[in-house]
Structure 1
Amino acid sequence: MMISYLVEFLLILLLIIVNTTLSAYIPQFSPSFGKQIMKENASKKSLDKSKQESSPPLDSQLSPTENQDLSQIKKYLSVFGYLQQNVESFDDVLDKETISAIITYQQNFNLKVTGNINDEFLEHIAFPRCGIPDMNLNHGHDTLNVSWPNGNKWFPKGTKNLSYFIPESEFTLEAMAVLRNALSRWSKITKVMNFTETPYDDADIKFGFYNSNDKIEDVVVGFSLIILQQSSKRKLGVIGFDNIREWVLPSEYLWSWKFDLESEAMHQIGHLLGLDHSYDEESVMYPTILPSQQRRVQITASDNQNIQQIYTQSNPTSAHIKSFGFTRSSSVLASSFLLGFVFLFLFN
């Protein structure tokens, strides 16, 4: 069994080595991006207040404005699908493309739409969140054989059961029960998929922790990926939780700096079942962990409706959220960001 884990790890490591030419595209966020953004919040107050409160047409934004450290915000907007730019072009200029990306973000999250970097916007992007982009996902397996979840097309059509593996070396018995309960809740409420626990080698879905190695911004707490095994052409789902976080169980008190394991599990399982992010704050698929809603585990009526729509379509895809095509440069960026996680599952 140990050999199997080692082989899979070496395959992932090999992908990283083979694609070192893409290393220049991997977003190098500061290890404390969220905290940095909050500090910059104060400095942004020096901007013209009329710009903070008004929403001028994009056509009037003809003269780019330079703002210190805007490049970090551009990286955030690009990584999460709002800004279609190559990472090499990130600068501190507030151009029309960035203003448009900010407006889309504000619209999606029901913030005041200004197109400006105001306090509300800065506070929101500093909240912890899922690592999967909100839009413009790279759905292909043509690069690196790794992608974000692609609806339920990653497993054969008509599949009614997915197997999973939870490593005892990674999770306590109580935590393992929480993950099983999350899978069971999705199965019982939506009735679209059953889940069976199996050994590592047979599992369709594998849970584990990853080490970000400070190569991604610290707002991300978890993610899910699809890995295409070249030898068998089989696709596997991976759910990873950030190893540096302090995760709590449903029975434990949830402090502001701790994270609810069940909530993140529900969210990532939803991705593997085919759901994209929802901007309904009550939804388990809401991408951001709000201070007022750190624990979100109940599948809402809209969540169920969205997943039923996916599984009743003749050509299933996650259709409840707007999706756009990827350019080549943004595809490279998304694929490189996947490697930026450098997830290390420490199975024994």
Structure 2
Amino acid sequence: MPARQRTSKRRFLGSKQGVLFLVFAAVIWTLSALSETYITTVPVQFKLQADSSAFVFSNTHIEVPAQVSSTGFSILYRRIFPRKVALMISELPIKEAENPTLNSDYLLNKYKQTYSNSSEINGFVPAVISLPMTQTVQKSYSPKLAALPKFEEGYQLISPLRFSLDSVSAFGSKAILEKLDQAIFKLPAENPIRENFTLEATLLDSIANLANWDTTIVQVSGKVDRYSDVTFVLPITLIDTPENVLVSLSPRQVKIKFAAPLSSLRSIDETKLLAEAVFEKTSSGQLSVYVTGLPKTAKKLTISPPTVSYLTVE
């Protein structure tokens, strides 16, 4: 074998042995370091279990640093696999419900009750731990519909909607409930309505998810009738005319048109329908016309003309 090849082989074997030595030394050093005792912190996970409706949670888990005095092996293991402790909300010694906190001594006692080999735990830091929850409050809301049901052409409501409940109650975070103005319900998709109805309405998901509700379903009922257009010609009555002043109107009558249920039209007393104008001096010489005596269910009122001219003679 040539001298050059033998020299290269010895160098290769020497470098391989050097690497193995360094690896072996690193392992020995690591094992030695992990065998030492250290004072440091490791995470402990606490799970909040909601066995009470007195609080609303923003998070059901909290991680609290625990001060330990233990070997490197134990510390490394606890950081990779944190221990877990369950906390029942009804058992927590919370003094201020509006700002719920726990003393670290309570957590230490709870930890020792859960794990028998807990002598390496010296305590938790900080001394007072804030809990991710807020006190539950109750607030009531009047039910409202997101949209009216669809009616067949010519049909409309003839009275206000009626709900099976005057109010519904929500239980949740005070900050959230104070931003909520009303409980809005939606009706199912139905064919156009032409008669009295009772339908089941469901609370909108976007609102239902904000809190716990005593109910998310209400019954909605309404009375429906066919509407028809009707026209009347009425003389104008002038109100508040000054004494010793003659007021002349032009025109002296107006035509009114409105829609009302057939049942209401049959009972209209034409003598109670009045077109009135309140006298007051205006720069335009015009007075607005108002109509009284209409049925409560009347809609789409038009007055032609809506204003009249006046002349005064003193």
TM-score over 0.5 for the pair: no
User: Greater strand share, 1 or 2?
Assistant: 2
TM-score bracket for the superposition, by shorter chain length:
under 0.3
Q: Which has the larger radius of gyration?
A: 2
TM-score by length of 2: 0.19
Using the size of structure 1 for normalisation, the TM-score is: 0.18
Structure number with the bigger relative contact order (C-alpha 8 A, sep ≥ 6) is 1
Which structure is higher in helix share? 1
